Amino acid sequence: MELIGLMAMYSLIWIYHHAEPPPLTNNKVQLPIAFTIKSPPPTTPPPPVPTLVVGLMITQDTPLERLESFAESWKQPCPGYILRGFFVLGAGSRVHSQFSTQSIVLDIPENINGGKTFHWIEKAITLFVFDDHPLNGIVKMDVDTSVNWVKFGTDVLPSLSPYYYAGRINTFEFCGGGSHCPPAGCLDFKSEECWIYMSGGWYALSLNLAKILIHECEYPRQHQDQWEDWQTGNWIRECFKAKVHVSGFANGDFFCHDGHTSNQDIRAMTWSKDGSCVK
């Protein structure tokens, strides 16, 4: 064993003395590099995608089969964005156990036109963590509506802006022509006298716009009651009409709404396989 060790040492000494000298570079010895460790190429994180948080306004009496239908629709892959759907109830409401993680109980009693929309938007802003994307949004939705969320991602979302207010526009005519209605001929907020509001089953506010309404303007907090869809348009009118971007869509574009269905017949309007609204 000692003989083998001596022979190995002798071999190393012979290689050292008989190897060619290192080359000279600028009169300096350039030491040979035995190997090079290559760093992995830098990785670029994927760009953020918009998140849409949907609040479906329900009560504890909403039929279970309707909740199941909505929960199933929220599972489908949505191109270009993340969809998160939740059932929104007032304080003291009974929550179906199978949807407990998808239900949000607000801090106000169950009501209609008594502040539920305001408190849902406020809760969505504070409860969820959004990636930094200008098209993040919050949706208020009713149980008499069905939405094609795939079509929303492909046809609607790319057309929106960082301060969007999207839905079915309620004009002077749609509103009924009363003194409380938007002025005749108005389709947006661009002129001094013009304003509109959204209704018809659903509407969406960009996260940027929602934060202004909830955190930077006192008017919405002081005006939560009366007809809530109409009131939301008034919030924008008083707080941020200068920069809001209105995107209007007709019933049947990518959603189906039937405002005449009863609580027990809310499946009357739905999507057919060819993408149209049917009874």
Q: Tell me, what's the pLDDT at 265? A: 42
Instruction: Count how many domains the chain has.
Output: 1
Q: Are 159 and 249 in contact (CB under 8 A)?
A: no
pLDDT at 8 over 50: no
Lowest-pLDDT range, 35-44, 139-148, 161-170, 217-226?
Answer: 35-44
Give yes or no for a contact between 183 and 239, defined as CB atoms under 8 angstroms apart: no
Residue 241 lies in a domain: yes
DSSP code for 100: G
Residue 226 forms part of a structural domain? yes
Give the closest residue to 218 by CA, choosing from 193, 197, 235, 241.
Answer: 235
Contact 134, 49 (CB under 8 A): no
Examine residue 153 and state whether it is found in any structural domain, yes or no: yes
Instruction: State the pLDDT at residue 264.
Output: 40
Q: Is 275 left (phi over 0), alpha (psi -120 to 50) or beta?
A: left
pLDDT tens-place string over residues 112-128: 888 999 999 999 999 88
d(CA 57, CA 238): 25
Higher pLDDT, 157 or 278: 157
pLDDT surpassing 90 at residue 74: yes
DSSP code at position 83: E
CATH number for the domain harbouring residue 122: 3.90.550.50
* Parallel, antiparallel or unpaired: strands 28-29 and 255-257: unpaired
Per-residue pLDDT at 267 exceeds 60: no
What digits encode the pLDDT tens for the residues 167-219? 999 999 999 999 999 999 999 998 889 999 999 889 999 999 999 999 999 99
Residue 146 resides in a domain: yes
Q: What is the pLDDT of residue 12?
A: 44
- Residue 120 belongs to domain spanning: 51-167+200-278
Q: What is the pLDDT of residues 18-59, one digit of tens each?
A: 555 555 555 554 555 555 667 777 788 778 899 999 999 999
Q: Is residue 230 situated within a structural domain?
A: yes
Distances in Å between the Cα of 232 and the Cα atoms of 87, 113, 226 are 20, 11, 10
Q: Would you say residue 255 lies in a domain?
A: yes
Helix (H/G/I), strand (E/B), else coil: 123:
helix
189 occurs within a structural domain? no
What's the whole-number average pLDDT of the chain? 83
Q: Which helix (H) or strand (E) holds 213?
A: helix 207-215
Within-domain flag for 177: no
Query: Which range has highest mean pLDDT (53-57, 65-69, 75-79)?
Result: 53-57
Whether the Cβ atoms of residue 147 and residue 141 lie closer than 8 Å to each other:
yes
CA 121 to CA 140: how far, in whole Å? 8
